[in-house]
């Protein structure tokens, strides 16, 4: 076939795209695994390896149940034990899943933790179970504190409040019901000055009206949403914004963000295919954290597969709008149950199965010694023409790092098969591959598995374009 002269200016091959699977499996189409993108100009991204983990508290044992930063200390539940800064303080219920934390003020500030069946308080010295006979023993997850009152909700949508700044005491008359629609209560949260009652297919809002009798709350009827919550374990807050896996009467699941009571869809079609395949109850953990200029929201299923290992963790880079998979070293779900912040700028994460707490930062290049595999599956690109294209050279533009290598393979049959991998030494000033074959439409897999940082901007190709 006759060839035209080489293209004078090398072409940048598209590298970053939000997760874009065409089915419920992840082994087709573009995706990032253990990576995130950062836009430096319109449509131009750098790709980073996800942050690594460094052990902070390792004398914790048992399945993770949640953690919270309170008055300069880190409190957590693992197994049946309540810990402060990694030191055991008390025994708690370990049979009813994750705990949600909150705090009250007043003359005796208290940490409040509940798992739907039991609640406990800690005032810095005394730890006690809430035993007031008016405190319900069957609740949905979530506690909200507003103007001195702690609120909880049961599956019937009844919201009960504590005495003023005293979550150990629960007056019998302090209750109000979320009943605009007849669906069941799923989770309770707070946004700004509103108590948010998530139900099966609707969401209701309440404000502190200062009522003299009964509950201080009154409903904000016009704010009601026709979206509910598919999983209490998916509800998270960051910077005053709420994220959750939402459901409505059409039974379609999506991921929503709420700002000032207004919802916005943040999942794309690819994410919704996965969620609707596994169902809302399959979401077992979620978390948020802020670091190195990015904010992340993650949802995990520890059992439902997507084609890469056991379970999955889907991570949204909130401000970039990009979704990715994060995994452990074996490509199973990322085993993090909860996050909070430390006394420095470094976020903290609690491991699902051992309860240990880790600092998380992009300066860490491994997970406490376990190498983090990074995979970037590029979009399937034809460079705006189906003519045959011969690549004489590929150059990989990124950080020059000693000991860092990249395995590169390609697929010319729509991700069905990939070529044998070729190795690129990223310690070189201009890492390159030559004689990269001919294609009409191509996708690349970039695989990095070195205990180093990984930071790449582009793949640049020198090509000849055929006449047919």
Do 303 and 426 fall within a single domain? Answer: no
Query: What is the predicted pLDDT for the residue at 7?
Result: 58
Query: What is the predicted pLDDT for the residue at 219?
Result: 98
Do 320 and 382 fall within a single domain? Answer: no
Query: What is the predicted pLDDT for the residue at 466?
Result: 62
Query: What is the predicted pLDDT for the residue at 6?
Result: 57
Share of the chain above pLDDT 70, in %: 97
Per-residue model confidence as pLDDT tens digits over 139-171: 999 999 999 999 999 999 999 999 999 999 999
With 0-12 CB in 10 A as exposed, 13-18 as middle and 19+ as buried, what is 420? exposed
Average pLDDT of the segment spanning 394-398: 95
Residue 464 to residues 3, 197, 439, 468: CA-CA distances in angstroms?
A: 7, 60, 11, 12
Structure tokens at 285: 């953990």
Instruction: Indicate whether 425 belongs to any domain.
Output: yes
Residue 153 to residues 15, 137, 158, 179, 261: CA-CA distances in angstroms?
A: 46, 11, 5, 12, 19
Instruction: Indicate whether 347 belongs to any domain.
Output: yes
Report the number of distinct structural domains present in the chain: 2
Average pLDDT of the segment spanning 275-284: 88
Structure tokens at 204: 């209701």
Do 200 and 318 fall within a single domain? Answer: yes
Query: What is the predicted pLDDT for the residue at 456?
Result: 93
Do 254 and 391 fall within a single domain? Answer: no
Do 367 and 409 fall within a single domain? Answer: no
Query: What is the predicted pLDDT for the residue at 17?
Result: 81
Instruction: Indicate whether 234 belongs to any domain.
Output: yes
Instruction: Indicate whether 22 belongs to any domain.
Output: no
CATH of the domain at 128: 2.130.10.10
Average pLDDT of the segment spanning 299-314: 86
Q: Are 300 and 333 in contact (CB under 8 A)?
A: yes
Q: Using DSSP, state whether 280 is helix, strand or coil.
A: helix
Could you give the CA distance from residue 56 to residue 264 in angstroms, rounded to a whole number? 36
Could you give the CA distance from residue 441 to residue 439 in angstroms, rounded to a whole number? 6
Instruction: Indicate whether 37 belongs to any domain.
Output: no
Average pLDDT of the segment spanning 355-369: 95
Do 269 and 133 fall within a single domain? Answer: yes
Share of the chain above pLDDT 90, in %: 83
Kindly report the pTM of this predicted structure.
0.94
Instruction: Indicate whether 40 belongs to any domain.
Output: no
CATH of the domain at 440: 2.60.120
Do 341 and 396 fall within a single domain? Answer: no
Q: Using DSSP, state whether 111 is helix, strand or coil.
A: strand
Do 291 and 304 fall within a single domain? Answer: yes
Do 278 and 235 fall within a single domain? Answer: yes
Average pLDDT of the segment spanning 397-408: 96
Domain boundary among 374, 408, 441: 374
Domain boundary among 357, 374, 391: 374
Instruction: Indicate whether 6 belongs to any domain.
Output: no
Do 350 and 201 fall within a single domain? Answer: yes
CA atoms within 13 A of residue 146's CA, in its CB half-sphere: 26
Do 296 and 353 fall within a single domain? Answer: yes
Report the relative pairing of strands 44-49 and 35-41 from DSSP bridges. Answer: antiparallel
Could you give the CA distance from residue 112 to residue 106 in angstroms, rounded to a whole number? 13
Q: In what order do the strands lie in the sheet with 370-371?
A: 336-341, 347-351, 357-361, 52-57, 366-367, 370-371
Structure tokens at 386: 């189906």
Instruction: Indicate whether 355 belongs to any domain.
Output: yes
Question: Residue 71's domain spans which residues?
Answer: 52-374
Structure tokens at 264: 């916005």
Of 9-13, 63-67, 354-358, 446-450, give the lowest mean pLDDT range: 9-13
Query: What is the predicted pLDDT for the residue at 467?
Result: 54
Domain boundary among 337, 356, 374: 374
Q: Are 161 and 216 in contact (CB under 8 A)?
A: yes
Could you give the CA distance from residue 233 to residue 283 in angstroms, rounded to a whole number? 7
As a whole number, the mean pLDDT across the chain is 93
Confidence grade of residue 3 (pLDDT, cut at 50, 70, 90):
very low
Predicted confidence (pLDDT) at residue 37 exceeds the cutoff of 80? yes
Do 327 and 413 fall within a single domain? Answer: no
Beta bridge partners, 466, equal 3
Predicted confidence (pLDDT) at residue 1 exceeds the cutoff of 60? no
């Amino acid at each position: 076939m006759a060839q035209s002269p080489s293209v004078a200016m090398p072409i940048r091959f598209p590298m970053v795209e939000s997760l874009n699977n065409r089915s419920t499996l992840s082994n087709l189409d573009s995706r990032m695994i253990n990576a995130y993108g950062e836009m430096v100009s319109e449509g131009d991204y750098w790709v980073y390896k996800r942050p690594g983990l460094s052990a902070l508290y390792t004398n914790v044992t048992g399945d993770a149940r949640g953690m919270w930063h309170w008055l300069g200390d880190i409190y957590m539940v693992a197994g049946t034990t309540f810990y402060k800064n990694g030191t055991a303080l008390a025994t708690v219920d370990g049979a009813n899943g994750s705990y949600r934390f909150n705090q009250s003020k007043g003359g005796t500030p208290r940490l409040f933790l509940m798992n739907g069946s039991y609640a406990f308080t800690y005032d810095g010295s005394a730890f006690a179970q809430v035993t007031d006979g008016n405190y319900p023993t069957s609740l949905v997850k979530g506690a909200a504190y507003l103007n001195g009152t702690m609120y909880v909700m049961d599956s019937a949508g009844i919201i009960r409040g504590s005495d003023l700044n005293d979550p150990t005491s629960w007056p019998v008359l302090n209750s109000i019901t979320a009943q605009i629609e007849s669906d069941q209560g799923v989770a309770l949260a707070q946004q700004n000055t509103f108590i948010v009652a998530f139900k099966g297919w609707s969401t209701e809002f309440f404000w502190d009206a200062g009522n003299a009798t009964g509950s201080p709350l009154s409903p904000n009827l016009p704010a009601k949403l026709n979206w509910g919550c598919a999983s209490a374990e998916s509800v998270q807050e960051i910077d005053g914004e709420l994220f959750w896996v939402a459901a409505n009467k059409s039974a379609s699941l999506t991921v929503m963000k709420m700002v000032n009571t207004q919802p916005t869809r943040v999942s794309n079609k690819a994410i919704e295919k996965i969620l609707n395949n596994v169902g809302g109850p399959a979401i077992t953990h979620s978390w948020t954290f802020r670091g190195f200029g990015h904010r992340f929201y993650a949802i995990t299923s520890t059992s439902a597969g997507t084609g890469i290992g056991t379970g999955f963790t889907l991570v949204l880079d909130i401000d970039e709008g990009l979704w990715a998979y994060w995994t452990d070293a074996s490509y199973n779900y990322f085993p993090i149950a909860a996050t909070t912040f430390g006394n420095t700028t470094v976020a903290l994460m609690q491991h699902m199965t051992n309860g240990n707490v880790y600092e998380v930062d992009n300066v860490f290049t491994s997970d406490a010694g376990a190498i983090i595999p990074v995979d970037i599956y590029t979009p399937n690109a034809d460079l705006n023409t189906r003519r045959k294209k011969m690549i004489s050279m590929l150059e990989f533009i990124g950080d020059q790092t000693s000991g860092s290598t990249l395995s590169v393979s390609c697929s010319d049959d729509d991700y069905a098969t990939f070529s044998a991998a070729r190795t690129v030494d990223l310690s070189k000033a201009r890492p390159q591959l030559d004689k990269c074959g001919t294609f009409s439409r191509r996708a690349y897999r970039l695989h990095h598995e070195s205990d180093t940082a990984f930071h790449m901007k582009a793949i640049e190709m020198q090509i000849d374009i055929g006449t047919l």
